């Protein structure tokens, strides 16, 4: 590790931490340390993070269709930045003419006479990258998409399986060649460094540990970092061209001039700050089809015939570490239209028995209009499983109450009674009795978030039972009457307002007691009496 | 051993027979919040699992007020799920909240198949307490409820009309509620290992 600092940022030998930096550190414990030691210096407070090994695949020609990428005519994809068009990617023929990324289109025209120019299509690039991500899942279960043109594969566990990094690379590249896809690659212990090194297009770097990584970063040109142009220019003016030179700058000075986020990037690349990466879950769905040998007339037979499909579905989901929230079952009849069943699940599920419990409720209620000839099953999009679902698999039922119980119960009740029959409630900020709460579909509460609730003291004299519609009462000489005269206990409490949502009210509420001692919530509006609740 | 002894032994093997001595002593219970009622109930409070049946003439007879201390214990601080199956009116959430009961974990089911929904909710074990209303229950259905509640260690509370008081029921505890001007008269129709009897509760209004 380099001990010498550049003269451009003279540093004191004693450690000096500016007061502002100390405060910032207290306020933001994850912010990078700001002191005047060189960035590359190991600090006891920054623990090295080295648990994974990343293989980065960089696709420089991703913006091109495969035939254009390999064609003999030079072609470029351009991106419009303000008034100028900048070259985003150049195909192999254009690269031979020394057209490179970041060049202005006018300069590119100067180098090539017959240049084909394409505008960038970010959506197509994204689709192409996702296709490649799905393809790369054969090498590891942990693939992360680094938009716009790179993939990161966590290969620590895969290296042994594929007998080493060299063999793994050979295998990958023979497949990529068949698909006519150009890629560069690197293996490094941090994901960011792996991407940078893959972009450098040097010889295939295979860096197993952090000590070796710092040697590779030393020579890496700054252009691989894709930092903003003005930053690159500033650094270039200071005579800094490689990452190694950058790492010898003092931390505080670097953060002040180049921004704290770039300092964080350097820390992440050097493996001193962890960088969690989201996992790519393929956007595929489960599809199955079964043509029955005989016409199926009853739902019991149907259920038996669906059984192998459900088995298949479970193993499909298991191999993808994913779950589904919806499943569509379409039954085809000879002459009538299809019968459709859509099963919905409150949380993503994987296990067959969960599907079965909802399915059997639906089939029980199903009347087949005609014999079924075939069935098609199609899942909703695959989703990441919640950790609870995985825990349940590990520990069976956790504690006395299964955390999975509530979603499964809601699904089961809804399958038989209908979506709207099962609901939750939450309070709303309104003083009018009917508007003070509303029904919820329970999705948010099931996931464990706590909705906002009012102070418990806000509604002191409210009845536990509310009539869904206020019930008109008879009156006797202006006093309300219900199975006999009522005695006043408390009131009136005036509740009015609501001009803003056309539920305007102007009511005087009273608590009254009937002959048997039942306490009632009664209001008077425009001289008429209504029963609105019972104190239960 | 005489033949009479054997017959008693055989009788004791019968699962339908229960002995007062064996049940009440160590049964865990939850205080009802009403001292006079606690004194009458086996174990000094509500049973912690199984089916409780509450009989009354018409809804609104302070029957929810009787349950509030129980719900506060089970679903206030501990934040357990509670299910309300086919209530006769709307349960008013702000009032429930004012009683210290978490409404975030409240499940309401509107159905004509209350018995089925109640059995499923009890059997799943996901709700600590399931409160249901039905007048269609028959003995076999009640037995299933009681069994489901026992097995999943949850508490089921079934409200029925007081005309069923003479019918037999497998519930652990049966109470008859009658509002009277002095308060609420609670008659213990059945309690496993309890003494039975009648108490009058002074209802502290929830308002």
pLDDT over 90 (residue A104)? no
Confidence (pTM): 0.57
CA-to-CA separations, B6 to A139, B1, B9, B13, in angstroms, rounded = 73, 8, 5, 11
Task: Give yes or no for a contact between B185 and B198, defined as CB atoms under 8 angstroms apart.
Answer: yes
**For range A261-290, the mean pLDDT:** 83
Hey, are the CB atoms on A516 and B108 less than 8 Å from each other? no
pLDDT of residue A294: 86
**CA closest to A441 among chain B residues:** B107
Backbone angles phi, psi at A283, to 5 degrees: -90, 65
Hey, are the CB atoms on A453 and B116 less than 8 Å from each other? no
pLDDT over 70 (residue A8)? no
Hey, are the CB atoms on A516 and B180 less than 8 Å from each other? yes
Residue in this structure with the two tokens 């006769």, named with its chain if needed: B88
Which of B56, B60, B72 is best to mutate for the A interface (most A CBs within 10 A)? B60
pLDDT over 60 (residue B95)? yes
pLDDT over 60 (residue A454)? no
Contacts of B124 in chain A (CB under 8 A): 402, 405-406, 408-409, 412
Contacts of A421 in chain B (CB under 8 A): 109-111
Hey, are the CB atoms on B103 and A459 less than 8 Å from each other? no
- Name the residue facing B97 among A456, A467, A517 (closest C-beta): A456
Q: What Rg, from alpha-carbon coordinates, does chain A have?
A: 34
- Is residue B205 less than 8 Å (CB to CB) from chain A? yes
Concatenate the DSSP letters of all residues of A273-289 into one string: S----PPP------EEE
**CA closest to A517 among chain B residues:** B181
B136 by Cβ neighbours in 10 Å (0-12 / 13-18 / 19+) ranks as exposed
Which of A425, A433, A444, A451 is best to mutate for the B interface (most B CBs within 10 A)? A425
Give B21's pLDDT tier (boundaries 50, 70, 90). Answer: low
Hey, are the CB atoms on A462 and B81 less than 8 Å from each other? no
Q: What Rg, from alpha-carbon coordinates, does chain B have?
A: 18
Give dist(CA A194, CA A208) in Å, integer. 11
Give the helix, strand, coil percentages of chain A, each rounded to 5: 35, 25, 40
CA-to-CA separations, A336 to A332, A368, A372, B53, B105, in angstroms, rounded = 8, 11, 10, 49, 44
Q: What is the pLDDT of residues A41-74, one digit of tens each?
A: 765 555 555 578 899 998 888 888 777 777 888 8
Q: What is the pLDDT of residues A183-240, one digit of tens each?
A: 888 898 888 889 998 888 667 778 887 878 888 888 888 888 888 888 888 888 888 8
Give B53's pLDDT tier (boundaries 50, 70, 90). Answer: very high
Please count the CA atoms within 13 angstroms of the CA of A338 that sit on its side-chain side: 12
Task: Give yes or no for a contact between A200 and A101, defined as CB atoms under 8 angstroms apart.
Answer: no
Residue A434: both structure tokens together? 């009917």
Q: Rounded to a whole number, what is the distance in Å from the CA of B120 to chain A's nearest CA? A: 7
* B 68-127 residues inside an 8 A Cβ radius of A: 80-81, 88-100, 103-111, 113, 116-117, 120-121, 124-127
Hey, are the CB atoms on A402 and B125 less than 8 Å from each other? yes
pLDDT of residue A14: 39
Please count the CA atoms within 13 angstroms of the CA of A504 that sit on its side-chain side: 4
Task: From A400, A401, A406, select the one nearest A386 (Cα to Cα).
Answer: A406
pLDDT over 80 (residue B72)? yes
Hey, are the CB atoms on B92 and A520 less than 8 Å from each other? no
Least confident of A33-42, A460-469, A474-483, B52-61: A33-42
Measured at the CA of A109, the angle between CA A108 and CA A111, to 5 degrees, comes to 65
Q: Rounded to a whole number, what is the distance in Å from the CA of B3 to chain A's nearest CA? A: 45
- Name the residue facing A406 among B100, B126, B153 (closest C-beta): B126
Contacts of B121 in chain A (CB under 8 A): 409, 413
Hey, are the CB atoms on B61 and A518 less than 8 Å from each other? yes
**For range A297-314, the mean pLDDT:** 89
**For range B176-202, the mean pLDDT:** 84
Contacts of A464 in chain B (CB under 8 A): 64-65, 91-92, 95-96, 99, 206
Residue in this structure with the two tokens 């009917």, named with its chain if needed: A434
Contacts of A534 in chain B (CB under 8 A): 59-60, 89
pLDDT of residue A48: 55
**For range B23-32, the mean pLDDT:** 68
pLDDT of residue A5: 41
Give dist(CA A512, CA A531) in Å, integer. 10
Report the SS3 class of residue A1.
coil
Contacts of B104 in chain A (CB under 8 A): 424, 426, 445, 450-451, 453
Give A15's pLDDT tier (boundaries 50, 70, 90). Answer: very low
**For range B55-83, the mean pLDDT:** 85
Contacts of A433 in chain B (CB under 8 A): 92
Concatenate the DSSP letters of all residues of B38-85 into one string: HHHSGGGSEESSEEEEEEESSTTSSHHHHHHHHHHHHHTSS---EEEE
pLDDT of residue A485: 81
**For range B58-83, the mean pLDDT:** 84
**CA closest to A466 among chain B residues:** B90
Q: Rounded to a whole number, what is the distance in Å from the CA of B181 to chain A's nearest CA? A: 5
Share above pLDDT 90 across residues of chain A, in percent, rounded to a whole number: 4
Hey, are the CB atoms on A427 and B94 less than 8 Å from each other? yes
pLDDT of residue A9: 42
Give dist(CA B154, CA B30) in Å, integer. 13
Hey, are the CB atoms on A517 and B117 less than 8 Å from each other? no
CA-to-CA separations, B156 to A134, B46, B132, in angstroms, rounded = 49, 11, 8
* A 405-464 residues inside an 8 A Cβ radius of B: 405-406, 408-410, 412-413, 416-417, 420-427, 433, 436-437, 439, 442, 445, 450-451, 453-454, 456-464
Backbone angles phi, psi at B94, to 5 degrees: -60, -35
Hey, are the CB atoms on B59 and A465 less than 8 Å from each other? yes
Mean pLDDT, chain B, rounded, equals 83
pLDDT of residue A259: 84
pLDDT of residue B110: 93
Q: Rounded to a whole number, what is the distance in Å from the CA of A405 to chain B's nearest CA? A: 5
Residue in this structure with the two tokens 């709207």, named with its chain if needed: A420
Give dist(CA B172, CA A155) in Å, integer. 60
pLDDT of residue A3: 43
Mean pLDDT, chain A, rounded, equals 80
Give B16's pLDDT tier (boundaries 50, 70, 90). Answer: low
Q: Rounded to a whole number, what is the distance in Å from the CA of B8 to chain A's nearest CA? A: 38
Backbone angles phi, psi at B40, to 5 degrees: -85, -25
Size of interface A-B (CB pairs under 8 A): 171
Show the DSSP H helices in A220-372 as ranges.
229-237, 243-247, 251-258, 260-269, 299-319, 352-365
pLDDT over 90 (residue A377)? yes
Strands A184-188 and A322-333: unpaired
- Name the residue facing A409 among B91, B100, B124 (closest C-beta): B124
Least confident of A39-53, A353-367, A408-422: A39-53
**For range A257-274, the mean pLDDT:** 84
Give dist(CA A53, CA B119) in Å, integer. 52
Give A481's pLDDT tier (boundaries 50, 70, 90). Answer: confident
Hey, are the CB atoms on B62 and A536 less than 8 Å from each other? yes
Q: Rounded to a whole number, what is the distance in Å from the CA of A301 to chain B's nearest CA? A: 25
Hey, are the CB atoms on B103 and A427 less than 8 Å from each other? yes
Contacts of B107 in chain A (CB under 8 A): 406, 409-410, 422-424, 442
pLDDT of residue A447: 54
- Name the residue facing A468 among B90, B116, B124 (closest C-beta): B90
CA-to-CA separations, B30 to A107, A216, A358, A384, B19, in angstroms, rounded = 84, 68, 35, 41, 22
* B 128-187 residues inside an 8 A Cβ radius of A: 128, 153, 179-184
pLDDT of residue A344: 86
Hey, are the CB atoms on A437 and B92 less than 8 Å from each other? yes
**For range A94-106, the mean pLDDT:** 85
**For range A295-315, the mean pLDDT:** 89
pLDDT of residue B206: 46
Hey, are the CB atoms on A464 and B106 less than 8 Å from each other? no
Task: Give yes or no for a contact between B40 and B188, defined as CB atoms under 8 angstroms apart.
Answer: yes
Give dist(CA A36, CA A99) in Å, integer. 40
């Amino acid at each position: 590790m380099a001990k010498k600092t550049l003269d451009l940022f003279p540093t004191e030998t004693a450690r000096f931490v500016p007061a502002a930096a100390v405060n910032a550190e207290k306020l933001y414990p994850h912010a990078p340390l700001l002191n005047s030691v060189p960035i590359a210096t190991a600090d006891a407070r920054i623990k090295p993070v080295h648990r994974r090994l990343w293989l980065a695949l960089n696709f420089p020609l991703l913006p091109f269709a495969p035939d254009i990428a390999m064609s003999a005519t030079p072609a470029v994809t351009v991106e419009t930045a303000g008034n100028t068009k900048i070259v985003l990617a150049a195909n192999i023929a254009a690269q031979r003419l020394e057209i490179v990324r970041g060049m202005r289109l006018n300069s590119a025209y100067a180098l090539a006479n017959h240049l084909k120019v394409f505008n960038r299509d970010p959506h197509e690039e994204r689709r192409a990258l996702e296709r490649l991500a799905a393809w790369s899942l054969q090498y590891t279960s942990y693939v992360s998409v680094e938009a716009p043109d790179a993939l990161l594969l966590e290969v620590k566990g895969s290296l042994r399986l594929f007998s080493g990094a060299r063999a793994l690379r050979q295998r990958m590249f023979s497949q990529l060649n068949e698909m006519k896809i150009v890629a560069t690659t690197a293996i490094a212990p941090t994901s960011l460094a792996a991407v940078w090194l893959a972009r450098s297009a040097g010889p295939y770097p295979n860096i197993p540990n952090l000590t070796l990584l710092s040697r590779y970063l030393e020579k890496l040109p700054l252009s691989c970092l894709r930092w903003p142009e003005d930053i690159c220019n500033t650094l270039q003016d200071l005579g800094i061209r490689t990452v190694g030179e950058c790492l010898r700058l003092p931390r505080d000075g670097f953060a002040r001039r180049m921004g704290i986020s770039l300092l964080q990037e350097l820390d992440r690349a050097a493996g001193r700050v962890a960088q969690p990466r989201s996992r790519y879950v393929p956007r595929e769905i489960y599809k199955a089809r079964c043509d029955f040998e005989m016409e199926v007339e009853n739902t019991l037979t149907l259920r038996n015939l669906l059984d192998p499909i459900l088995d298949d579905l479970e193993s499909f989901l298991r191999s993808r570490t994913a779950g589904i929230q919806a499943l569509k079952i379409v039954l085809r009849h000879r002459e009538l239209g299809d019968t459709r069943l859509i099963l919905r699940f409150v949380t993503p599920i994987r296990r067959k028995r969960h599907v079965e419990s909802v399915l059997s409720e639906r089939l029980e209620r199903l009347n087949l209009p005609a014999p079924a000839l075939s069935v098609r099953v199609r899942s909703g999009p695959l989703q990441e499983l919640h950790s609870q679902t995985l825990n349940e698999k590990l520990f069976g039922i956790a504690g006395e109450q299964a955390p999975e119980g509530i979603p499964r119960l809601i699904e089961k009740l809804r399958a038989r009674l209908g979506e709207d029959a099962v609901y939750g409630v939450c309070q709303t900020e309104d003083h009018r009795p009917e508007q003070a709460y509303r029904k919820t579909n329970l999705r948010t509460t099931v996931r464990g978030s706590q909705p906002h609730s009012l102070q418990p003291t806000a509604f002191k004299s409210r009845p536990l039972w509310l009539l869904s519609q206020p019930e008109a009462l008879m009156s006797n000489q202006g006093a309300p009457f219900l199975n006999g005269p009522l005695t006043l206990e408390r009131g009136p409490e005036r509740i009015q307002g609501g001009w803003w949502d056309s539920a305007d009210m102007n009511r005087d509420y009273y608590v009254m007691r009937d002959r048997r001692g039942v306490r009632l919530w009664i209001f008077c509006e425009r001289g008429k009496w209504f029963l609105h609740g019972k104190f239960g | 051993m005489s033949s009479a002894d054997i017959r008693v032994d055989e009788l004791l093997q019968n699962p339908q027979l229960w002995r007062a001595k064996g049940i009440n002593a160590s049964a865990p219970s939850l205080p009802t919040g009403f001292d006079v009622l606690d004194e009458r109930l086996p174990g000094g409070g509500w049973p912690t699992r199984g089916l409780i049946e509450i009989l009354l003439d018409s809804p609104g007879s302070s029957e929810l007020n009787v349950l509030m201390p129980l719900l506060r214990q089970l679903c206030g601080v501990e934040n357990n799920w509670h299910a309300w199956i086919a209530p006769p009116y709307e349960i008013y959430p702000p009032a429930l909240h004012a009683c210290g009961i978490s409404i975030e974990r409240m499940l309401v089911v509107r159905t004509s198949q209350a018995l089925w929904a109640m059995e499923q909710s009890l059997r799943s074990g996901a709700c600590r307490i399931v409160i249901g209303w039905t007048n269609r229950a028959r003995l076999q259905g009640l037995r299933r409820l009681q069994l489901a509640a026992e097995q999943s260690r949850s508490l089921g509370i079934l409200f029925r009309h007081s005309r069923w008081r003479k019918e037999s029921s497998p519930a652990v505890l049966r109470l008859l509620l009658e509002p009277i001007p002095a308060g609420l008269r609670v008659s213990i129709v059945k309690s496993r290992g309890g003494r039975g009897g009648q108490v009058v509760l002074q209802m502290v209004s929830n308002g």
